[in-house]
Amino acid sequence: MSSSRIPAFYRLSVEERRERLREAAGLDPEEMATLCAADALPLEIADIMIENAVGTFALPFGLGLNFVVNGREVLVPMVVEEPSVVAAASNAALVVRGAGGFTADADQGAMIGQVQLIRVPDPEGARQRLLASRPAILRAAERLTPGLCRRGAGPRDLEVRLVRSPRGETMVVVHILLDTGDAMGANATNSLVEGLAPMIQEIAGGEVNLRILSNLADRRLARAGCRVPVAALGRDGLAGEEVAERILYAYEFAWADPYRATTHNKGIMNGIDAVALATGNDWRSIEAAAHAYAARDGQYRSLSTWSLEEGHLVGAIEMPLAVSTVGPAVESHPRVRLALRILGVASARELAAIMAVVGLASNLAAMRALATEGIQKGHMALHARAVSHAAGARGAEAELLRQRLIEAGEVKIDRARELLRSLAQERR
Ligand code: MEV
């Protein structure tokens, strides 16, 4: 990867952008063919991925630019339907790039598989017996996961929790911690807890009910950080110091108020989900984990933290990111393989770390815009392109219509059609 900084990339045609990507990422002719194919996902593959397939569904595949992560240049493939998301993340990455880039890392970690025991006669006794049997249960778990163990991953630990049901019963809940390596690990974890359940029931007494992974993957955390001189944050006639102060207020709002935190975290997930989609990851599990983790102290709060330290705005994020760089989606979806190739990641941990970075960048971009001019100006400038296209304008006329819409300050389809008609009259 040469550089993730490709100035004026957005002004190039799609063909020119592809060429710049080819140069920057060193894509070979086969990878270029995958990038340019009209059909990103062959129908016969779609048909084996899900049930009742009747076609495929496409979304824009863009590139997040300017990212430097742990000193490495990273081009970030992003799949998303919302305008501004790619531009905003790239914009924040450019600001952070000037300050040396992002730091990031992710735990090797483990997935949690849960076994629920109900109607347990002596829950506390069951807990003690299960803990005493920990070595035997873990040995059995190893026998059930030979492939993972061969690859240096596998079962790591066992925990027992007593959980009170709403009807007042004390349920015994066993957690099996399983390092699933570069896989997200849902199948491995579910198979393992299903396999271990009879042994666990035998030891605990009572009856096994559910055996399923927990999506609250809080043993698989990823972290990212950045440190930007406040002077680099000036915008819209406001000095950097004032913008940094207002960003701090924005963060404090999200820390203290769940209504704001939800939107703040949605902005973080804009970037994370876009990378999850591009890399074929289960974004619902990532979303579920993120929001549960955001409420870990009992109140739903911001996933990121921001502070001012010696003239710098310092940002950090920590969140569960149970992602995969192997498995069916990677094997079967040609553009998922391409996305991982563009990212240049060799492991799920590296991918998780970059996703945390993109989340933090998206967050910084959103707060900086919100704390200054607001997001609608930039958003409407981009939205105007889509509205002008929807009104039927193409090529140079579409660009002219886009500008007229922005000048008119009313980016709406009816207005676009009206303006398009007057453009046609001007030409007559
Ligand atoms: C829009 O997709 C995301 C934002 O609302 C995030 C935020 O408010 O922080 C701009």
The shares of helix, strand and coil residues in the chain, as percent rounded to the nearest 5, are: 50, 20, 30
pLDDT beyond 80 at 1: no
Higher pLDDT: 408 or 225? It is: 225
Using an 8 Å Cβ cutoff, are 140 and 174 in contact? no
Alpha-carbon distance of 333 to 331, in angstroms, equals 6
Task: Pick the closest to residue 121 from 194, 174, 172, 168 (CA basis).
Answer: 172
12/26 Cα distance (integer angstroms): 19
Residue owning the nearest CA to atom 1 of ligand 1:
267
Whether the Cβ atoms of residue 393 and residue 386 lie closer than 8 Å to each other:
no
Q: Which of 355, 348, 351 lies closest to 109, judged by CA?
A: 348
pLDDT tens-place string over residues 23-68: 999 999 999 999 999 888 989 999 999 999 999 999 999 999 999 9
- From the list 19, 157, 194, 266, the catalytic residue is 266
Query: Tokens standing for 413?
Result: 């389809």
Residue among 47, 142, 245, 282 flagged as catalytic: 282
282 is a catalytic site residue: yes
Q: Is 368 in the pocket of ligand 1 (CB under 6 A)?
A: no
- Token digits of residue 168: 């007042």
Helix (H) or strand (E) holding 213: strand 207-214
DSSP class of 238: B
CB 43 within 8 A of CB 55: yes
Q: Which amino acid is at 323?
A: V
Pairing of strands 312-320, 304-309: antiparallel
Tell me which residue of 149, 129, 152 sits closest to 204, measured CA to CA: 129
Quick check: is 266 catalytic?
yes
Q: How confident is the model at residue 341 (pLDDT cuts 50, 70, 90)?
A: very high
Taking CA atoms only, the protein residue closest to ligand 1 atom 2 is 267
Respond yes or no: is residue 410 known to be catalytic.
no
What H or E segment, with its residue span, contains residue 103? strand 103-106
- Residue 324 has what pLDDT? 97
CA dihedral defined by 117, 120, 123, 129, rounded to 10 degrees? -80
Phi, psi of 13 (to 5 degrees): -75, 165
- Look up residue 139 and give its amino acid: R
- Residue appearing with tokens 């592809």: 18
- Residue nearest atom 3 of ligand 1, based on CA coordinates: 267
Ligand 1 proximity of 264 Cβ (cutoff 6 Å): yes
Q: Which tokens belong to 114?
A: 């849960």
Least confident segment among 127-131, 221-225, 407-411: 407-411
Two structure tokens written together for 380: 């409407």
Find the 347 Cα to ligand 1 centroid distance in Å: 30
Ligand 1 pocket check for 270: Cβ under 6 Å: yes
- Please determine, for residue 327, whether its predicted confidence score (pLDDT) is greater than 90: no
Residues 263, 302: Cα–Cα separation, whole Å? 9
pTM: 0.94
The answer to whether 377 is a known catalytic residue is no
Closest C-alpha to ligand 1, atom 6:
267
* Residue 375 alpha carbon, nearest atom of ligand 1: 10
Residue 360, pLDDT > 80, answer yes
Q: What is the token pair recorded at 298?
A: 């009992």
